[in-house]
Amino acid sequence: MIVAVLLLVSAVALVAITRDIYRKWTSRLPPGPKGSVLVGNLFQVPATFLHRKLHEWSLKHGSLYTIWMGSQAYVVVNSVQVAADIFDRMSGTTSERPMMIKGRQFYVRDLLLQTQGHTLQWRANRRAVHANMNIRAASRFHPMQEHDAAYFALGLIQYPEKKYDKHCHRFATSMISGALYGKRIDHKDDSRLLHKIEEMTQRLMEALMPQNSVVDTLPFLEPVIRRVKWFRKQSDDWHEEATMEGFRLYNAANETDSWGAITTVQDFETNREKYGLSRDDAMWDTLALYMAGQETTHTVMRIFALAMLHNPAVMRTAQRQLDAICENRTPTFEDRPKLPYIEAVALEAARWRAPVPTSVLHAASAEFVYEGYTIPKDTILVDNLWSQTRDASVYPDPEAFNPSRYLDQTTGTLLPPTADTHLSLLAFGHGRRVCPGRDFALNSVFIACAYLLWAFDFSWPVDEHGNEIKCGVDEMVDHAIVVTPRPFDFVLTPRQKDLEERLTVAMKA
């Protein structure tokens, strides 16, 4: 019996490999780096910092090229204009998600918004999330965000023994958990449940990376893995844990609020029928927002600090604008129209070291032709944000941290978003798969940057010889989908008299 099964699997594998070799030879896909006949570029793709390798290849192969991971073709999109053409203008064909057998099918079972297929249920989920997180709806959280930005700055004074990274983590966690669940995180809170969700998020991100999945590289193995429970133990355990912990958070949130604002859970429970959501859908949608929002906001605030330390002239320009508008009081969202440079600092932090440099994979739901190349149905499309945010035709001197690129050079006001390329919001993705929490996240980053620049000067620590101890701009840590600066130390010097008292007053306002 075992021999018969092995012979059957071998025969299926041989047919699949022969078919795939033929597809590679006859495809009209964009050319890319050469790989082996059997596994393509599989052994050329690094386990970490994938975006660096993809960018290296883009310098040789241009704005569109193909790599092969075993039998699966990946078309990598590297320029702003080509990304706008493929992901925005052709979004009806390019908004599907790949099967991602390990992550999407085995781990989340097509319940998580970010990886869900382009189905009617996905549209209902997306509609419900958009109703809660669009630019107008997200403004209901302004009081909460102002309060927590002041608490962020105050914590840096009152808890100096904690690393900045830990303060960023608390701020980002408190922002998203407050909006979703009405759960605020203070400096002494060590929420086991939230830590558990974050650990599970990391495991899922690793599972979604194609180089970490044998079954996505060799999909003919799926029937075997699906039928043998031992192979699926990790994914089954993850799904059971995520469902249990997600409902713990969801159920605890029903009777809470968020600084007078209706939380996402409260809105879902009130309007589930209108949105077309089951209770399971609502739980997974809030969990999806938490998983996406916590890590990315945390990362952008670390990037912001790194940028200020390496660009003191930018820091001083931002502080001059804050001093002119706010004088001795703390900044608020009402000041935002008068603080375009602070807004530009937040946008540039998200571009300069894009926290999700290769985005989440897209797939073609039908065959399409672009610039003479034929992209077959089910081809995986890589929205390579790292290369796009280094597109010198759109971002001159892309390695420079330059907030002024978003400003009208005559008036100093923010330039309007560009319809063709939305260059100021590029880090949030494209088309129908653009990050639905974008406006809420930008609000959090804007007010946090404003508070920290108003309150402090940033400088590097020095060693016993007076030499600055710096973190390089490319000293990063890869957390699978999210890439973040490594932890680093720096010095915060208060800029305001009685700063602690002023921040305390701002929190009570």
Q: From the annotation, which residues make up the binding site?
A: 435
Q: Residue 53 CB: number of other CB atoms within 10 A?
A: 16
User: What are the contacts of 109-114 at 24+ separation with CB within 8 A?
Assistant: 109/239, 111/280, 111/281, 111/284, 112/204, 112/284, 112/287, 112/288, 112/291, 113/284, 113/285, 113/288, 113/289, 113/436, 114/288, 114/291, 114/292, 114/360
**CB distance 261 to 251 below 8 Å:** no
User: Rounded to a whole number, what is the distance in angstroms from the first to the last CA of the chain?
Assistant: 74
Per DSSP bridges, beta strands 380-383 and 72-77 are parallel
Query: What are 368's two structure tokens?
Result: 């399409």
| Nearest in space to 380 (alpha carbons), one of 213, 226, 206 | 213
Q: Annotated binding site for heme: which residue ranges?
A: 435
Alpha helix ranges (H) inside 209-256:
214-217, 222-227, 233-253
Q: What are the strands of the beta sheet with 72-77, ordered from one edge? A: 64-69, 72-77, 380-383, 362-363
Report CA-CA distances (Å) from 145 to 178, 374, 395.
9, 47, 30
| Nearest in space to 39 (alpha carbons), one of 209, 207, 211 | 211
**How open is the CA angle 211-216-219, to the nearest 5 degrees?**
145
Per-residue b or e along 461-487, where b marks 16 or more CB atoms closer than 10 Å to that residue's CB: eeeeeeeeeebebeebebbbbbbbbee
Task: Report which DSSP code applies to 66.
Answer: E
